[in-house]
Amino acid sequence: MSRIFPKILASPIEYLKGVGPHRADMLRKELQISSFRDLLEFYPYRHVDKSRINTINEISAGTEFIQIAGILGALNILGEGRTRRLVSEIKDATGSLQLVWFQSISWMQRTLNPGFRYLVYGKLSFFNGEPQLTHPEMESFTQEKGPEAFPLQPVYPSTEKLKARGLGGRQLSKFTHQLFSQLRENDIPEFLPGQILESLSLTPRFQAFKDIHFPASPAAYLDSLNRLKFDEMFLNQIRTGMIKSQRQKNSRGVVFEQVGPLFNEFYSKVLPFELTGAQKRVLKEIRRDTATGKQMNRLLQGDVGSGKTMVALLTMLLAADNGFQSCLLAPTEILSRQHADHFRELLKDLPISVALLTGTVKSAARKKILHELASGSLNILIGTHAIIEDAVQFRNLGLAIIDEQHRFGVAQRAKLWKKAGIPPHVLVMTATPIPRTLAMTAYNDLDYSIIDELPPGRQPVRTVQRYEYNRPKVMDFIKDEIKKGRQAYIIFPLIEESEKLDYENLLKGYENVKAYFPEPPYYISMVHGRQKPIVRETNMKRFISGETQIMVATTVVEVGVNIPNASVMLIESAEKFGLSQLHQLRGRVGRGNEQSFCILLSGNKLGKDARERLNIMCETTDGFRIAEKDMELRGPGDIAGTRQSGILDFKLADIVRDKNILQQAIRSADRVLAEDPELQLADHALLRGQLMQERGKTVWSRIS
């Protein structure tokens, strides 16, 4: 092994010639460079083109950086105190240019040799109208060729602290250059199969590392960047792909053998509509998974209103048909209750029991539920975090469904697993779509289903943006809708850092709404996080039953609530919301057959990003497009909690901008794994070795 993977890259950085223990310490602390490999992967953020040598008579008022080759003049110290400086000049065939140093004067005096030939590089400044270079880089022509020999000079990020100790970007480039003089091609083995290398015309790996630091041309630099980005994404894809197949191979799961009477009876007699093609396809995928004897670990993606809940219900019936209990975890009390009511209503004529368990369930009722769960007489449990508590023990939990994924931490979900001897099948339903490219990368190790079709007959929500000065008209519009028998949401932002302020805004907003909609004939519900649960419930119920026509709320209604009669979603201070939140909120309307409206009310002045967000909302109702746009605007790290997962910690690659490379990486990785799932072919030995070296990186091997 050691012959194939020489250990030189693992050497501590202090062993690099010219570094030593003291500087190594600073590099570690300031730049997290502790090994040769870290230095190798400490990439320049740009290059300076020094291939061109200017002449002094070329200098004009617009000149910025210049490089002059010439003879160094005499060194003179001028001035006192703060103006004390070392002054000289560089002379070429066309003229002379002044050079000035304010610092390291004695050192410069000692090392510079007047009368010798130098290459001088720096940023031009003008003093009293005269051009000069302050603290230029000086390179003696007699010196041995260092990193300066390369036309494109790497520029590395450094810190003020390091610069003050002589460890600026220039010194870093010397270290990197030194590193390459100690490395041989074998030290950075080529792990890509020749076929991939050739078909994609990728720069060989050693060359790529060299070129990213010291490229011979801009094209060589771009090629190296392309290659190293490819590697990051390719290795990620291989790694997660292997984790997935390992899990599929090793995990044990309960078997749902048959589709039984509960499922069939419900499907033929109760189901109030025809399933969409996408819903049917996903059910088939779930059915296939749960019959294999392996544990299902599936992410179900679908746009708001695409009917994920029905898929959940049918899967629970499948579990019950096979003698297993199931549970559905929802993020809020309101949502749990709504699911429970909905399920009970739909299942009332079937021999199956549904219970709701939340923090507010009284102790007697709670005892009863726990007893029924343990004895196995209860089939379906719906609830909030309360379900996860240790006291909650199932007789034979076979399926756990998690609605609106991102609100549960990984650790919380893991607790669910322990509630059964063989871990239950897990189905996680996302709240809003995740961009496809992100899902393919971040969730590659999961099984993944997608509902990409809305139930028929849905009219897209008509979305408009209005400014504060339009408010009276907007309110009149809502009045008209209420006259037609519809209901309206009015949503205020909730930003955690300024909770108190938001709360005050909400109350002010509520008073304002009341002024437009006096009681009677108008009745208003208000719902927010500071209310006692019972107050919130009551308000919610009155709106659901139609007693109140308007619901003033913070984003607590964001997730899942289903009130088909509501036709207006007015979002106050819409510019303060993120795209996925706006999309979620809009999804609360347009659930019935009537035309629905979403009004994005904003302050009179909008920033560029806010304007773009509101525009895209008005342009489309396609959650996948919105998710892609969101990722473009915010970067992938902020979407759906992937930042914590550590998976998308690419140093160079960016899954938004480098979509094409990503696609190549995915295709190549899939092909490799299809041919050799465990990387046992001789052709893949080096690839396998590379993965072993990178082990220890965080991965989401499971969603729960």
Q: Rule CB under 6 A: is residue 549 a binding residue for ligand ADP?
A: no
Contact 311, 279 (CB under 8 A): yes
Comparison of 28 and 342: residue with beta carbon closer to ligand ADP: 342
Pairing of strands 65-72, 46-49: unpaired
Q: Rule CB under 6 A: is residue 39 a binding residue for ligand ADP?
A: no
Comparison of 233 and 311: residue with beta carbon closer to Mg ion: 311
> What is the C-alpha to C-alpha distance for residues 216 and 111, in angstroms, rounded to an integer?
30
Least distance to Mg ion, CB of residue 575, Å: 26
**Residue 310 near which of Mg ion, ligand ADP, none (CB within 5-8 Å, type-dependent):** ligand ADP
User: Is the four-CA dihedral 338, 344, 345, 347 of positive or negative sign?
Assistant: positive
> What is the C-alpha to C-alpha distance for residues 191 and 668, in angstroms, rounded to an integer?
13
**Residue 304 near which of Mg ion, ligand ADP, none (CB within 5-8 Å, type-dependent):** ligand ADP
Q: Rule CB under 6 A: is residue 336 a binding residue for ligand ADP?
A: no
Among 24, 172, 254, 304, which residue sits at the site for ligand ADP (rule: CB under 6 A)? 304
Q: Rule CB under 6 A: is residue 273 a binding residue for ligand ADP?
A: yes
> What is the C-alpha to C-alpha distance for residues 607 and 628, in angstroms, rounded to an integer?
20
Q: Rule CB under 6 A: is residue 275 a binding residue for ligand ADP?
A: yes
Query: 653: closest CA among 436, 438, 448, 433?
Result: 438
**Residue 275 near which of ligand ADP, Mg ion, none (CB within 5-8 Å, type-dependent):** ligand ADP
Q: Which helix (H) or strand (E) holds 281?
A: helix 277-290
Least distance to Mg ion, CB of residue 313, Å: 11
Q: Rule CB under 6 A: is residue 122 a binding residue for ligand ADP?
A: no
Q: How far is CA 563 from CA 48, 136, 375, 477, 567, in A?
A: 61, 70, 35, 20, 9
Residues that bind Mg ion (CB under 5 A): 560
Choose one: 42-50, 305-313, 351-359, 656-664; the region binding ligand ADP (CB under 6 A).
305-313
Comparison of 335 and 381: residue with beta carbon closer to ligand ADP: 335
**Amino acid identity of 633?**
L
Question: Residue length, the chain?
Answer: 704
Least distance to ligand ADP, CB of residue 342, Å: 8
Q: Rule CB under 6 A: is residue 215 a binding residue for ligand ADP?
A: no
Among 54, 236, 240, 279, which residue sits at the site for ligand ADP (rule: CB under 6 A)? 279
Nearest residue to ligand ADP by CB is: 307
> What is the C-alpha to C-alpha distance for residues 402 and 426, in angstroms, rounded to an integer?
8
Comparison of 307 and 423: residue with beta carbon closer to ligand ADP: 307
Judged by DSSP in three states, 375 sits in helix
Cα R_g (the chain), whole angstroms: 33
Q: Rule CB under 6 A: is residue 584 a binding residue for ligand ADP?
A: no
**Residue 276 near which of Mg ion, ligand ADP, none (CB within 5-8 Å, type-dependent):** ligand ADP
| CA–centroid distance for 607 within its chain | 23
Residue 95 falls in which region: left (phi positive, over 0), alpha (psi -120 to 50) or beta? left
β-partners of residue 25 are none
Structure tokens at 27: 């590099």
Q: Rule CB under 6 A: is residue 589 a binding residue for ligand ADP?
A: no
Least distance to ligand ADP, CB of residue 481, Å: 19
Structure tokens at 552: 């003033």
Q: Rule CB under 6 A: is residue 306 a binding residue for ligand ADP?
A: yes
| CA–centroid distance for 287 within its chain | 30
Residues 220-259 that bind ligand ADP (CB under 6 A): none
Residues 43-82 that bind ligand ADP (CB under 6 A): none
Comparison of 398 and 560: residue with beta carbon closer to Mg ion: 560
Q: Rule CB under 6 A: is residue 276 a binding residue for ligand ADP?
A: yes
Contact 555, 585 (CB under 8 A): yes
**Residue 302 near which of ligand ADP, Mg ion, none (CB within 5-8 Å, type-dependent):** ligand ADP
Pairing of strands 380-383, 354-357: parallel
Among 95, 151, 260, 455, which residue sits at the site for ligand ADP (rule: CB under 6 A)? 455
**Amino acid identity of 532?**
K
Comparison of 328 and 665: residue with beta carbon closer to ligand ADP: 328
**Binding positions for ligand ADP, rule: CB under 6 A:** 273, 275-276, 279, 302, 304-310, 455, 562, 591
